Amino acid sequence: MVTDPALADELIDTLRTWVRKEVLPVASDYEHADEFPEPLVAQMREMGLFGATIPVEYGGLDLDTLTYARVVEELAFGWMSLSGVLNTHMIGSNLIKRFGTDEQKQRWLPKMATGEVRGAFSLSEPDAGSDTKALRCKATPDGDTYLIDGTKMWVTNGERAGIVALAARAPEGITCFIVEKEPGPRFEGISVSRDIHKLGYRGLETVEMVYEGHRVPAANILGGDEWLGRGLQLILSSLELGRVNVASRGVGVARAAFEAAITYAQQRETFGVPISGHQAIQFKLADMATKLEASRLLVHNAARKIDNGERADVEAGMAKLFASETALEVATEAMRIHGGYGYTTELPVERYYRDAPLMIIGEGTNEIQRMVIARGLLSRYALDRGDGA
């Protein structure tokens, strides 16, 4: 389904106005205090953003991926952490939407669409990040339930979540379980063992979670018994949406840094003229704007392929790779254009500089993206050698 362009533009205009009016004035205060922005998140719920890609029949907005990418850009422009509040929630709801049984969709999606129940996504472990086959979290059958034991890392929204899409190793292989829990640091056999402090991406929790004999009904195997042992396939396919999200964040952060830089360059004077009159600054601004626009086009291309039902592993990887590298470069150049003021906490430029590296690492490092892109390209352009080789 493609979102009506006029409705999409209206939504983005409304969101842009909200970001400038409600988010920009308070983002730095929340970020420096590392405080969860509950009032802003409540307004995001009222706007229906937690149901952005959930079908209307379950109470969602049913936006296409392209419009969702534009939503993420606007949120990240205001404060990147707000897009993180949505990302793992949307990965979880998208998994249920695409692969859940009818009963699972009816049970979980309506509450996720309103934001009444927030979702988290849990794949990584202390010794298993990019190497997903090294997962050790176990799911041991026990009657009509599974006992989950293991430690999970880098769980964004883990404490506040009511639903966790969890990868665990059952006897048949890696399986995706939908774990239901009460928000908080401890619930039955689940505990938040530590809050991981970060350079940037502050104001929302990134935690380590420990599962000790936590019981999950067999009915919570995503997609039902037919997907027992085949969960990694489901989980990895969901990362295409996650990578579009991270790439869109890169565009939002890069845009915020660029706008700050080009505004400041016209205000700051040296040798009797605005620094925007110096060719060295003009070249920086030209490169920043060009790479920003290229990043946005890559994101939109990947989003359209997903909306068309096409495989977008290469395109999502390209978008994530280029947009994240651009975000870091543009944030760095924005700081240099601001000079000493860019290094202070008085302006948000230093926040862009601290937030940008996350996109290079999150949803698969950029080294992994290059592997994904190369493998996809070699598959698409494979030579028919005709010799059986």
Each residue of 317-361: pLDDT tens digit? 999 999 999 999 999 999 999 999 999 999 999 999 999 999 999
Cα angle 260, 264, 267; round to 5: 150
**Alpha-carbon distance 268 to 266, whole Å?**
6
Q: Is the pLDDT of residue 189 over 60?
A: yes
Residue 386: band (very low, low, confident or very high) from pLDDT cuts 50, 70, 90: low
DSSP letters spanning 327-340: HHHHHHHHHHHHGG
How many Å apart are CA 360 and CA 326, to the nearest integer?
A: 10
Which residues are CB-contacts of 59 (< 8 A; sequence separation ≥ 6)? 51, 109, 110, 113, 114
pLDDT (average), residues 29-33:
97
Q: Is the pLDDT of residue 309 over 80?
A: yes
Predicted confidence at residue 388, as pLDDT, reads 55
Q: Considering the chain, what percentage of its residues have pLDDT values greater than 70?
A: 99
With H, G, I as helix, E, B as strand and everything else as coil, classify residue 182: coil
Residue 134: what pLDDT? 83
Mean pLDDT (whole number) for 357-371: 93
- pLDDT of 130 above 90: no
The DSSP output letter for 3 is: -
Q: How far is CA 73 from CA 25, 152, 247, 274, in A?
A: 18, 28, 9, 30
The pLDDT value given to residue 201: 96
Distances (CA, A) of 247 to 130, 259, 290, 317: 18, 18, 16, 9
Cite the active site residues.
363
What is the torsional sign of CA 180, 183, 186, 192?
positive
Cα–Cα distances (Å) from 105 to 45, 54, 62, 94, 117, in that order, read 20, 10, 14, 10, 14
Q: What is the mean pLDDT of residues 278-285?
A: 97
- Tens digit of pLDDT for each residue in 139-153? 999 999 999 999 999
pTM for the full model?
A: 0.94
Q: Output the average pLDDT for the chain.
A: 95
pLDDT tens for 227-256 read 999 998 888 888 888 899 999 999 999 999
pLDDT in tens, 46-64: 999 999 999 999 999 999 9
Task: Lowest mean pLDDT of 74-83, 201-210, 332-341, 358-367, name the range.
Answer: 358-367
